[in-house]
Amino acid sequence: MIDAEAIRCARGETPADLLLKGGRIVDVFSGEIMPGDVAVKNGTIVGIGPYRARQTVDLDGRIVTPGFIDAHVHIESAMTGITGFARAVAAHGTTTVIADPHEIANVLGVEGIRYMLAASEGQPVNIFFMLPSCVPATDMETAGARLMADDLQPFMKEDRILGLAEMMNYPGVLGADPEVLRKIALAEGAHKPVDGHAPGLTGVDLNAYVAAGISSDHECTTLAEAREKLKAGMHIMVREGTAAKNLAALLPLVNPHTCRRMMWCTDDRHAHDLLTEGHIDFIVRSAVDQGLDPVVAVQMATLNPAEFFGLRHLGAVAPGRRADLLVIEDLHDLKVGRVYSRGRLVAIDGRIVDGIETPRPIGAPPAMRVPSGALDFSIAATGRRVRVIEIVPEQIITRSIVTEARIEDGRAVSDPGRDLLKIAVVDRHSGTGRTAAAFVKGLGLKQGAIASSVAHDAHNIIVAGVGDRDMSAAVETIVKMAGGLAVVSDGRLLAQLALPIAGLMSEAPLAEVAAGLDRLIAATHFLGSPLGDPFMTLSFLALPVIPALKLTDRGLVDVEKFQIVPLFVE
C-alpha cells in the first residue's frame, strides 16, 4: 500500500529518495527499451520522468530491468541458510524467490515452515513460499512430519504464502484422493495457484491432473511435453538447475503467443553453481546466447512469474512497483552491475555491498533424534544372494541388481573389490534409531565411509562405507554436529560440514559452504570414489519415489512395485 508521501512525490511535489537517471529501461509491457529516469520513494518506484531526487545516480545509457524472480526453488538445496542464500542470489540480480520449503518441512513439519517464514524476514530479497503439498513422500520411511490439509490451512491466508507447492503426488490427484483434493481446494479457496510436478504425464492423465486445478509445471524435459502441458493451460517453468537442465530443450516453445505463460526457475541449485555461474541471470544469459529475444528473456524472469503468482507490485519498472531494479551494461552479454532491492543498493558487480546487515539468526528447532551408542550396521546372512542398489552416474534413478553376497562369520559384509559397499539409513526423527542396511554398487570407495543428514525426502541419515566402524564414526559425527556431512577413514575424520538447521542448512555464507563441500568431495575422491558429487548421489539413494531400488530406514524399496522388499533373494 502506497503512502501519501509517495503519492506527493509521484506528482513531483517533493523530491524522490533516489533517481536512476539516463538509463534505458526494459519496458516489459510494451516490449520496448526506452530512455527514462526512474524515481524511487520509500522503496517504491513512483514514476518514470524528470524527477528531482535527494540522490541521483547517472546510468549513462545503461540498461535498467526489473529484479529477477525465481519461480520455484528449494532454498535448502544450496545448504546455506536463508541469509546466505539471499545474499548469494541478490548478488546475481535475483530480488524475489518463490521457495518451496519441502525439505525442511519433511524434517520439521509446520515448525519448519514457520522457521523459514521467520528467517526470511528482513532479507535483501523478497522471499515468498508455496506450502509443501506432499509431506511425507511415502509411508515407507520414518519422516519428520506429516502435513495434512488441516495443518496447511492456517498458513494459506498469509501474505507471503502464495499457494500450494509442487503436487508430486500425481497418483493421488488421478485417484481423487480426498486429502489431496482438500489441499488443492485450500489453495483455490484462497485464490492462489497450485504448482505441478508431473514429469512425463500426458494424454488423459494430464487432462485429469490439470482439471484438478494444477496450474504450472517445471518438470518438462522435452519440447513435446512442454507444448502439450502449455496447451492444456499450464504455465511452464523452464528449469535450469544443478542436476536438471531443460533450457535448451524447451527454448523452441517460446514464441510471441506462448511466452506470457512461461518463466524461469532453478528448482535445485547447488552452492558451487550459484557462486560460479549465477542464478536466474545465468538462465537469462544462456537463453539470449541461444537466440532468445532479450526482452522476452527478461519478461520470463520478471513480469511473467509476478503475474502468475499474483504479485501485482513486482515484475516491472513502473509506478507503484517495488523498486527492485537491476542495472546492466548490455542485454546481450548480461552481467548484472547494480542491484537495488526496495530502492536500496544491495550489490555491485556480483558482490553484496558493505553495510547490508544480516538478520540475527533464529534458532531452528532440534532435528536430530538418534539414541547414543545404538548404531548397528551388521547384516545377518540369512541368504546368499542380495538385491543391490546400482548407481547410475549423474542420475537420480538407480538400477536394481542381484548378486552374490560376501559372507564372513555369518554376516554379509562390504566387498570393495567388487565395489559392493554397505549402505544404511538411520531414522533421525522418531528417536528409535531404526536402521536398515543393504548394499550399493557404484560409489567406488576403497576404504572409509561417508554419511549425510541430507537424504531426500525424509532426510534421515544415510551412510555408506567399507567397514561398520567407520560408518558408525561418520554417523556419530553428524549426530554430534546436529546434522551435516562427514567423511571418515580408519577412525579419522577427514572432512565434515555442519548443517545444524534441520540437518539441511548452515548459517555459514555460501562460499564457506561451497569450500566445505569441496573438501568433502575431495576426501571422498581420495577414498576412491569416481563420482562427480558423491554426496548428491548419496542424497537420492533414500528417495523411494524415483526408480528403481532405494533404501529407507524401513528397508529396501522396490519403487516400481512401491513396496518394501527383502535384502536376500534366496
Options 14, 56, 258, 432; binder of a copy of itself; rule CB under 8 A: 258
Q: Which stretch binds a copy of itself (CB under 8 A): 121-129, 209-217, 385-393, 553-561?
A: 209-217
The region that residue 431 occupies, defined by phi over 0 for left and psi between -120 and 50 for alpha, beta otherwise, is: left
Contact 506, 453 (CB under 8 A): no
Q: Which stretch binds a copy of itself (CB under 8 A): 182-190, 241-249, 273-281, 527-535?
A: 182-190
Q: Does 174 bind a copy of itself (CB under 8 A)?
A: yes
Q: Does 332 bind a copy of itself (CB under 8 A)?
A: no
Q: Cell numbers 526423527 label which residue?
A: 429
Options 21, 24, 114, 260; binder of a copy of itself; rule CB under 8 A: 260
Please write down the long-range contacts of 210-214, taking CB distance under 8 Å and 24 or more positions apart: 210/234, 212/173, 212/176, 212/181, 212/184, 213/184, 213/185, 213/187, 213/188, 214/167, 214/173, 214/184
Q: Does 126 bind a copy of itself (CB under 8 A)?
A: no
Choice between 229 and 279, CB closer to a copy of itself:
229
Options 261, 279, 456, 459; binder of a copy of itself; rule CB under 8 A: 261
Other CB atoms within 10 Å distance of the CB of residue 174: 17
Distances in Å between the Cα of 358 and the Cα atoms of 69, 70, 82, 86, 111 are 21, 21, 10, 10, 22
Options 118, 148, 176, 224; binder of a copy of itself; rule CB under 8 A: 176
Minimum Å distance from CB 260 to a copy of itself? Answer: 5
Q: Does 312 bind a copy of itself (CB under 8 A)?
A: yes
Q: Applying CB under 8 A, what is the total number of residues that bind a copy of itself?
A: 65
Return d(Cα 175, Cα 504) in angstroms, integer. 33
**φ and ψ of 4, to 5 deg:** -60, -35
The most distant pair of C-alpha atoms in the chain lies apart, rounded to whole Å, by 88
Options 81, 112, 193, 442; binder of a copy of itself; rule CB under 8 A: 193
Residue 339, strand partner residues: 326, 347
Pick from 173, 96, 167, 165: nearest CA to 130: 165
Return d(Cα 159, Cα 312) in angstroms, integer. 13
Q: Does 233 bind a copy of itself (CB under 8 A)?
A: yes
Q: Does 360 bind a copy of itself (CB under 8 A)?
A: no
Choice between 127 and 180, CB closer to a copy of itself:
180
Minimum Å distance from CB 340 to a copy of itself? Answer: 17
Judged by CB under 8 A, the chain residues 489 through 528 that form the site for a copy of itself are none
Cα-based angle 115, 282, 99 (whole degrees, multiple of 5) = 20
Options 118, 211, 380, 565; binder of a copy of itself; rule CB under 8 A: 211
Three cell numbers, residue 409: 562369520
Q: Does 49 bind a copy of itself (CB under 8 A)?
A: yes
**φ and ψ of 15, to 5 deg:** -70, 150
Q: Does 482 bind a copy of itself (CB under 8 A)?
A: no
- The footprint of a copy of itself (CB under 8 A) covers 1-4, 6-8, 10-12, 27, 29-32, 34, 44-49, 51, 173-174, 176, 178, 181, 184-185, 188-189, 191, 193, 203-208, 210-213, 215, 227, 230-233, 255-258, 260-261, 295, 307, 310, 312, 316, 318-321
